[in-house]
Structure 1
Amino acid sequence: DILFKVAVFRLDADQLYLVWSNHHIMMDGWSMGVLMKSLFQNYEALRAGRTPANGQGKPYSDYIKWLGKQDNEEAESYWSERLAGFEQPSVLPGRLPVKKDEYVNKEYSFTWDETLVARIQQTANLHQVTGPNLFQAVWGIVLSKYNFTDDVVFGTVVSGRPSEINGIETMAGLFINTIPVRVK
């Protein structure tokens, strides 16, 4: 896979079309805004006959250095404590393997009516959780039924930029992690 590519197409004498694509492993959603802001600032500078500014954001290497300074033993202790006593992997029932040439991609679309959406939000509010937290709990219940247990763990992707890093809001890169969610 190509991780990052940019192409410019001339539509006519004074109109260009920019196509920018990147692999999702390259950066998080916030980073796209950081890069687009920089791109447009540099474009406007060039149009005005000015030299574009250098170093408009903090380097991602600052984040990597910060990661290297984190206490891995403390993190391991934290997660070990939270996952203590969990023994059985949470899995879905197996399916027969599908041969590559037998796979058929299908799509299923549906729309939730406003009443259902309102009931979901009302339930989340009643339990003082967000909609995504409610669905994580439901997923945990589904896994518990399939695994015949009242203790399940699954992964969820979280995004976050550590506020201790000066200028983190101007960095472009990937700031996500997958963490375990335990439902008992």
Structure 2
Amino acid sequence: LAEPPLVRILLVKLGPDRYRMMITLHHIVLDGWSLPILMQELWTAYEAGGSTAGLPTVTPYRDYLEWLTRQDKEAARDAWRESLMGSDEPTLIAPTADWDEAPADSREVFVHAGAALDSGLAELVQAHGLTLNTVVQGAWGLLVGKLTGRRDVVFGASVAGRPAGLPGMETMLGLFI
């Protein structure tokens, strides 16, 4: 993070009429909500020959930081303390005795689950008014509960924390988690 650029864009020509754009950035720069906004702005500038004159006026990130300073932090801490009361230790689902703190190998894995599972999940989320993410999070909670023998499982997920009352927030680029 100490060495710019914090966002890198690479355009690779794969053939006469085939290109691939790769964007590398740290999550501290942008949240997931910002990515479609960034892409729209990139394509708009690209179509305008590199000019950003056609882009809408940007609400400064400073406005969000000012809004954030006006929030009641102690009330927020109290609400979280009350919500998490009784959760006094981490839930470990794997032994830690031989943990050497070496980085784990990571990669993306794509698996097609099949039409039957796809349609079953679609029916489930529609019948119960849920999102697929909610179902996956619930399944994760059930799995962690089963692995640990607990009925009450607490885990977190990051979400876009964009205050609806702040003008221009829906089109701002930045980290709002």
What are the residue-to-residue correspondences of 1:14-53 with 2, within 5 Å? 20-39=23-42, 52=53
Contact 2:33 2:160 in 1 (8 A): no
Shift of 1:158: 1.0
Count residues with an aligned counterpart.
Answer: 169
Are residues 25 and 118 of structure 1, via their aligned partners in 2, closer, same or farther at CA, if it must alter by over 3 Å? same
Partner amino acid, structure 2, of 1:67:
L
Contact 1:46 1:52 in 2 (8 A): no
Contact 1:124 1:134 in 2 (8 A): yes
Shift of 1:71: 0.7
Give the gaps of 5 or more residues in structure 1.
11-16, 177-184
Partner amino acid, structure 2, of 1:83:
L
What are the residue-to-residue correspondences of 1:89-100 with 2, within 5 Å? 89-94=90-95, 96-97=98-99
Provide the C-alpha distance between the structure 2 equivalents of 1:54 and 1:126, rounded to a whole number of angstroms: 41
Provide the C-alpha distance between the structure 1 equivalents of 2:92 and 2:101, rounded to a whole number of angstroms: 22
Are residues 8 and 153 of structure 1, via their aligned partners in 2, closer, same or farther at CA, if it must alter by over 3 Å? closer
- Structure with the bigger RCO (C-alpha within 8 Å, sep 6+) is 2
The C-alpha deviation readout for 1:40-65, integer Å capped at 9, x for no partner, is: 55566678xx9937982011111111
Please name the residue that 1:175 is paired with: 176
* Greater Cα shift, 54-63 or 105-114: 105-114
Residues 1:4 and 2:27 are matched in the alignment: no
Shift of 1:109: 4.2
Partner amino acid, structure 2, of 1:22:
L
SS at match of 1:79: helix
Please name the residue that 1:14 is paired with: none
Provide the C-alpha distance between the structure 2 equivalents of 1:117 and 1:132, rounded to a whole number of angstroms: 14
Are residues 66 and 105 of structure 1, via their aligned partners in 2, closer, same or farther at CA, if it must alter by over 3 Å? closer
TM-score computed with the length of structure 2 as normaliser = 0.72
* Greater Cα shift, 89-98 or 144-153: 89-98
Partner amino acid, structure 1, of 2:76:
A
SS at match of 2:159: strand
Are residues 145 and 8 of structure 1, via their aligned partners in 2, closer, same or farther at CA, if it must alter by over 3 Å? closer
Contact 2:32 2:160 in 1 (8 A): no
Please name the residue that 1:59 is paired with: 60
More strand by share: 1
Please name the residue that 2:153 is paired with: 152
Partner amino acid, structure 2, of 1:172:
L
Shift of 1:98: 5.5
* Sequence identity (%): 33
C-alpha RMSD of matched pairs (Å):
3.6
Are residues 105 and 127 of structure 1, via their aligned partners in 2, closer, same or farther at CA, if it must alter by over 3 Å? closer
Give the gaps of 5 or more residues in structure 2.
14-19
SS at match of 2:158: strand
Provide the C-alpha distance between the structure 1 equivalents of 2:56 and 2:78, rounded to a whole number of angstroms: 38
